[in-house]
């Protein structure tokens, strides 16, 4: 799995460099970064961007390896409606929605809280929704070696809502199905039925 992470700027001088770039950007947009409302904006933006891209500094191996257990369980495990907030790498605008994860163990299960942590790790990078979906699925597939993995992400993109086509109700849906979720239509159908069951009520 190709990792698109980059080395983050972490030194105080480099943090100031980011803030200075924001000041220059504000000036290029026709604003005055020295006026009261914008005076602290460059540092706020620098801190916000560092938080929103903090996933580059985290290791998915440590997230998963810290809490998986050998248990003889072979039924589907689902964690659905995991909130997702990320930044689209094309326009640096947010996209947000929900992620649904299912896997069928092969003697290994992972602590349930680790799956939302894994989602956050990859979401807090500059992303494409398609890549985000694949990265989550591939990591679970490689680390747990389950019978199958299914990941679905449903998200709204501000680059479509605020600009371009300006379609505020559009939802992008991406999926990654591995193992029995790809090969067995019945398994895939069970996953889809379970994650959408409450929405039909």
Which sequence positions are flagged as catalytic? Answer: 88-91, 129, 157, 159
Distances (CA, A) of 26 to 19, 21, 37, 126, 170: 11, 9, 12, 21, 30
Angle at 132 between CA 177 and CA 89, to 5 degrees: 145
Q: Nearest CA to 60 among 11, 132, 128, 108?
A: 132
Query: Residue length, the chain?
Result: 201
**126-127 and 148-157 beta bridge pairing:** unpaired
* Dihedral pair phi/psi, residue 157, rounded to 5°: -115, 125
**1-33 burial, b if ≥16 CB within 10 A, otherwise e?**
eeeeeeeeeeeeeeeeebbeebbeebeeeeeeb
Distances (CA, A) of 40 to 34, 35, 95: 9, 9, 25
């Amino acid at each position: 799995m190709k990792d698109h992470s980059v080395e983050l700027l972490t030194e105080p001088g480099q943090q100031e460099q980011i803030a200075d770039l924001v000041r220059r950007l504000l000036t290029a947009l026709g604003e005055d970064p020295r006026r009261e409302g914008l005076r602290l904006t460059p540092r706020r933006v620098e801190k916000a961007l560092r938080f929103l891209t903090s996933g580059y500094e985290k290791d998915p191996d440590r997230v998963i390896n810290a809490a998986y257990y050998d248990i003889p369980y072979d039924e589907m495990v689902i964690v659905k409606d995991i909130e997702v907030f990320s930044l689209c790498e094309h326009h640096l605008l947010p996209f947000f929605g929900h992620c649904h994860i299912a896997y069928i163990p092969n003697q290994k299960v992972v602590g349930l809280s680790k799956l939302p942590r894994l989602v956050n790790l990859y979401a807090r990078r500059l992303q494409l929704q398609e890549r985000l979906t694949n990265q989550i699925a591939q990591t679970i597939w490689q680390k747990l070696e389950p019978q199958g993995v299914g990941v679905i992400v449903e998200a709204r993109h501000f680059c479509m809502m605020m600009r371009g086509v300006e379609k505020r109700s559009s939802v992008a849906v991406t999926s990654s199905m591995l193992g029995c979720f790809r090969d067995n239509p019945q398994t895939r159908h069970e996953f889809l039925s379970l994650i959408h069951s409450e929405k039909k009520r």
